[in-house]
Amino acid sequence: MSGSQKINRSAIQIQAEVLSNKKVGPYHHMVFAVDKMAASCKPGNFVAISVGGGQSSLILRRAFAIYRANDKGPMGGSIELVVAPHGQGSQWLCAQNVGEFVDIVGPLGTSFGVPSSNANTLLVGGGYGSAPLFALAEVLKNRGCRVDMVLGASTASKIYAPLEGKRSVSSLTLTTDDGSTGIHGQISEAIPRLIRENSIEVIYSCGPMGMLAAVSKIAIEFDIPHQCAVEEAMACGVGVCMTCVVPVKDDDQIKMTRTCIDGPVMDGAKIIWDRKIVMDALHP
Amino acid sequence: MSSLDFSTKIGSRRFSNPIFTASGCASSGQELSQFFPISEIGAVVTKSIMTKPRTGRATPRMAETPSGMLNSIGLQGPGIDAFLENDIPWLLANSAKVIVSIAGETVDEYGVLARKLRAVSGVSAVEVNISCPNVENRGQVFACHPESAVAVIESVRRNIGGELPIVAKLSPDVTNIVEIAQSVINVGVDGLALINTLLGMVIDTNTMKPKLAGKTGGLSGPAIRPVAVRAIYQVHQAFPQTPIVGMGGVSNGRDAFEMVLAGASAVSVGTATFGNPSAAMQIKDELSNLLLEKGFNDFRDAIGFAHRGV
């Protein structure tokens, strides 16, 4: 596509050694040695990983949000991912042992925009979608922002909230669909109160598309900017396959926009969340 | 170590090596240029461009299948005017050899596209995509019928003028691909691109509905490679003088060599790029090594070698 101003020019392709692989509840926390790639990773960026080994019938890369990046460490630069082993590709990745190498392309995509002055921010994470929000919380706190966080999942074990991640957060609210921890209900039900009580000025979110749609609706009602990291199935992660698009308002038209180049972090107010509108327009 | 003449020809045009990108799998080159110098592959074949901007289909647009994938993009693109203004200058500034792929909904649209390309300098060839399976009406797959295939090629030929080579991209979803090839060769194409994706479908057994928003999609990847090799072999056997750009699931140098042996004068790398952005460069190096290993000093001696002495 033309005018691809947003291509993440710091992306490189490397063979990265697995430094750590630990099971955390239903997820795997994995650390990879990525050398100088780490220095160019920003909160919201993702990596695309080749899965299955050389002879695999799985031919497409898998995209994973970066949980955190450390550009200085005893092993050089490293990145951390939180992986949910729910498909063949992520299961393969979670089965990789320390010392093995995987093919990683990154960092890819856009990152969360940070306010130029201190602001009251609300970070909303669904399931393991909370992962990239902790690095963002740190950046925001260092900018002098107030950071409130709300994390939701279907059940308590699926909330990803490690101890060290909570340090940058002023308040943490949990919600579960089954009431096993925190507030019993959907994450979106907890947001209006948090916006009012903490005079929220910016919302950041990451998680399943249904949750992002609900958060977008609330952000529009309260007239608050909302940056969401979307999750659409990708084949390449680098902008050439055109499969990972989301419908974005473009005057009165629909523009199918690549989430690997113009996302994953996008303006929630510009995305057309109502699938019926898109289907009626594109598949009459 | 002996040296290899790796160059190849399509019509009047020479390319420094026979590894191209496949249309729709490399956008217009910019996204891949951070992984390798785009000028080092034989040519960039751009995503098929239409007369007007096009939104394409809703998502899901993709379904991974065993050793392959279905795509259902629906020819999303900026339209020929924006393409000529933005993409061609970038490609030429980066010293890429460019093959522009065009697609239309009507015979006339192909003519309009050809006329616009006529005025552009620096383009090495035009690929006429008459075989995209992701159109609403199967009747629009011009490559499924000799008469409609001929009508499109004649329209392009009339409008393009000069010596710009015309490459017709054919579909394997036909009873007799040699017959379709014959029809477009008769009206003067300079080369054939074999093969486009095969029409396929995946049904999600959880939702119990087709997985793709467009219901059907084009199957690509290693799963279709034997189909491509067969099509190239058959067409090269019938028309050994017509250059073929072979494609369909090429993932390494061995796969590219297989297509060359079947009769391909060049090999396009498509879906492999999705799994590995450096695939085209790696395949180029691997093919070069394989040719030398097999004792070829001139790439062109290997084209159609599988037919020798048969």
Smallest CA–CA distance, residue B11 to chain A, in Å, is 28
Cα distances from B60 to residues A234, B39, B129, B217, B248, in angstroms, run 10, 33, 23, 11, 22
pLDDT-derived band of residue B135, with 50, 70 and 90 as boundaries? confident
Q: Read off φ and ψ for residue A119, nearest 5 degrees.
A: -145, 160
State the CATH number of the domain containing residue B47.
3.20.20.70
Complex ipTM value: 0.93
**Contacts of residue B23 in chain A, CB cutoff 8 Å?**
none
- The CATH class of the A120-282 domain is alpha beta
Q: Is residue B67 part of a domain?
A: no
Buried b (16+ CB within 10 A) or exposed e, A4-40: beebbebbebbebbbbebeeeeebbbbbbbbeebbeb
Percent of chain B with pLDDT over 70: 98
Q: Is residue B65 part of a domain?
A: no
Q: Is residue B115 part of a domain?
A: yes
Q: Mean of the pLDDT values across residues B214-241?
A: 97
pLDDT-derived band of residue B2, with 50, 70 and 90 as boundaries? low
Cα distance between residue A168 and residue A134, in whole Å: 8
Cα distance between residue B148 and residue B180, in whole Å: 10
Q: Is residue B66 part of a domain?
A: no
Domain count, chain B: 1
For residue range B81-121, list pLDDT tens digits in order.
Answer: 999 999 999 999 999 999 999 999 999 999 999 999 998 99
Question: What was the pLDDT predicted at A67?
Answer: 95
Query: Using CB atoms within 10 A of its CB, is residue A246 exposed (0-12), middle (13-18) or buried (19+)?
Result: buried
> Are the C-beta atoms of residues A200 and A193 closer than 8 Å to each other?
no
Number of Cβ pairs < 8 A linking chain A and chain B: 126
Question: What was the pLDDT predicted at A284?
Answer: 85
Q: Read off φ and ψ for residue B250, nearest 5 degrees.
A: -75, 120
**Contacts of residue B86 in chain A, CB cutoff 8 Å?**
2-3
Question: What was the pLDDT predicted at B139?
Answer: 61
Best B36, B47, B59 residue to mutate vs chain A (most A CBs within 10 Å): B59
Kindly give the residue spans of alpha helices, DSSP state H, lying in chain B. Answer: 80-82, 88-93, 107-118, 146-160, 177-186, 225-238, 253-262, 271-275, 279-293, 299-302
Question: What was the pLDDT predicted at A2?
Answer: 38
Question: What was the pLDDT predicted at B218?
Answer: 96
Q: Is residue B26 part of a domain?
A: yes
Q: Name the CATH code of domain A12-108 (choices 3.40.50.720, 2.40.30.10, 3.30.2350.10, 1.10.3720.10).
A: 2.40.30.10
Where are the domain boundaries for CATH 3.40.50.80 in chain A? 120-282
Percent of chain B with pLDDT over 90: 93
State yes or no: pLDDT of B149 exceeds 80. yes
pLDDT tens-place values along chain A, 284 residues long:
334 458 999 999 999 999 999 999 999 999 999 999 999 999 999 999 999 998 889 999 999 999 999 998 777 899 999 999 989 999 999 999 999 999 999 999 999 999 988 899 999 999 988 889 999 999 999 999 999 999 999 999 999 887 777 788 999 999 999 999 999 999 999 999 999 999 999 999 999 999 999 999 999 999 999 999 998 999 999 999 999 999 999 988 999 999 999 999 999 999 999 999 999 999 88
Is pTM beyond 0.90 here? yes
Smallest CA–CA distance, residue A118 to chain B, in Å, is 35
B194: closest CA among B240, B166, B226, B232?
B232
**Contacts of residue B213 in chain A, CB cutoff 8 Å?**
279, 282-283
Beta bridge partners of A14: A104
Determine the structural domain holding residue B165 and report its residue range: 8-57+74-200+217-307
Q: Mean of the pLDDT values across residues B34-53?
A: 96
Catalytic status, residue B25: no
Question: Which chain B residue's Cα is nearest to A49?
Answer: B275
Query: What is the longest distance spanned by two Cα atoms in chain B?
Result: 58
Where are the domain boundaries for CATH 2.40.30.10 in chain A? 12-108
Best A2, A13, A56, A260 residue to mutate vs chain B (most B CBs within 10 Å): A2
Residue for token pair 């690929």: B127
